Structure 1
């Protein structure tokens, strides 16, 4: 290790071994085959808390419908939200933000994406992680990506990370990344975490290129930070919010009880999953700017915004 931190003395060998491993063989995803910032942004937003098996099909369908940023910016927001819901892509406000970000690119940036992580964060719904990913994969202009997979890799590989209560992952990750190589490096280290350095490691099976330096491989201690699990979609509020959006997309408006009976078989107006429960879902959707709720003298109705 170097005197300045937890990196091996021959950092260049660590870097080149990982890049060679990635370039020799890696999983193929369509967003890895493009440097188009629009397509990369779509993939990043879709991938937030959504399984990649669902993302890939939705990604192709989305681009068939809206192939570039101008097409998405000119689309009706209700169509974008309806697509998001029908493909079970998680919270519908992500679709709203993506649509608004496309309009920002069209109106404020003359149709061309900004290229730095800081500028990309000015786009609606684009946080630091997504901004850095787009800057890295579209423009080769990002910092080291640090997601849960990368943290697991660094925690296992370097004893000085493994043995610190609150390690500085970002500093180590950026020191490890070759200068000006964010596109290939971030893809490679994320692939290492996703394929070889999983929660149940597959070091030898996947030919991990870091075995000779890795603290975990040398000691057999493969503990790592807890990795959040994807909450169950079946029966979740996200699932019923999606059903509401789909139904309201098919009807001009629906009254509360009709809507309730259509979205779940055990709906009873005064029951556990009744009017109060349904009004809570509609309130959330209204706060997100997706649904308009009207209270009349004898009934409550809902429609898409």
Structure 2
């Protein structure tokens, strides 16, 4: 513990708070399979899949993915179109995550001889691995991370210790609370707290929240929290149609706009609102992400998956 605690944690019994949370987590927590491994490749796959996807939906996809590509070397050697097709087939959202995951595997094999870097800063050098994911892999694979600060953690800190709704304040408080050298158990525990006890609608007593005796919100009954952005509806979204494009192109070698259009939406009309111009915009986005290849031949626009 630093000599000068952040103002938000003044008066907080930090050792007691730490002990209560860790004991609560170790006594009972959701038994996701990636919590049973310290393999950085397996953990990276789980982290990428879990971005804006409910964890319960990720389990089967994660197990299927590792069954097909069990090592980072297997994934690096895979055909990228197969990886993207898997992503689409398991409804895992933005397909560029699959592309980046494949590129990250290639980097680990070519630049690190198949051995993952252990430091969050080095892990951030991998394609598509941002600071949060890098820190999660460093924490859960190597016990070498910083305090995780995601939406759930912010909600917990805001409610429990009345931390200001400010990123730097959340980061200071999170660092202060995490026991040195225990990022693996601590980050798992505090995220579990936010996921099962301190959700948007809290279930303090039902979940046996270990911080009730310390919690400002529990004491006052005021469970407001910072605004949490909601994910746009998937049905009818641009993201949904991008996924359909990838799935359909995965079933055909190459299609023209007017062959592809009716296969992804029933109201496709070449010159209509959802016609060639709209579809070309989707394809250009996917091409920018390196997922689709678009070419012109004899006045016809043709699309195929990037190989």
State the TM-score bracket (shorter-chain normalisation): over 0.9
Please report the RMSD computed on the Cα atoms of aligned residues, expressed in angstroms: 1.4
Q: TM-score under structure 2 normalisation?
A: 0.95
1:58 to 54, 57, 61: 61
- 1:9-28 counterparts in 2 under 5 A? 9-28=12-31
Does residue 1:158 correspond to 2:128, yes or no?
Answer: no
Once the two structures are superposed, residues 28-54 of structure 1 have per-residue CA deviations (whole angstroms, 9 ceiling, x without a partner) of 111111110000000000111122232
**In structure 2, C-alpha distance between the alignment counterparts of 1:57 and 1:226, rounded to whole Å:** 31
Misfit runs of 4+, over 2 Å: 2-10, 164-167
Does residue 1:268 correspond to 2:254, yes or no?
Answer: no
- 1:1-305 counterparts in 2 under 5 A? 4=5, 5-7=7-9, 8-159=11-162, 161-162=163-164, 168-305=169-306
Give the secondary structure class of the aligned counterpart of 1:301. Answer: strand
**In structure 2, C-alpha distance between the alignment counterparts of 1:224 and 1:157, rounded to whole Å:** 10
Structure 2 gap ranges (5+)? none
Once the two structures are superposed, residues 250-286 of structure 1 have per-residue CA deviations (whole angstroms, 9 ceiling, x without a partner) of 1110011110001111111111111111010000011
Structure 1 gap ranges (5+)? none
Q: Could you tell me how far 1:9 is from its partner in structure 2?
A: 4.2
Q: Could you tell me how far 1:245 is from its partner in structure 2?
A: 1.0
**In structure 1, C-alpha distance between the alignment counterparts of 2:265 and 2:119, rounded to whole Å:** 45
**In structure 2, C-alpha distance between the alignment counterparts of 1:64 and 1:175, rounded to whole Å:** 40
Q: Could you tell me how far 1:3 is from its partner in structure 2?
A: 7.0
Q: TM-score under structure 1 normalisation?
A: 0.96
**In structure 2, C-alpha distance between the alignment counterparts of 1:165 and 1:181, rounded to whole Å:** 25
Q: How many residues of Structure 1 are paired with residues of Structure 2 in the alignment? A: 302
**In structure 1, C-alpha distance between the alignment counterparts of 2:304 and 2:167, rounded to whole Å:** 48
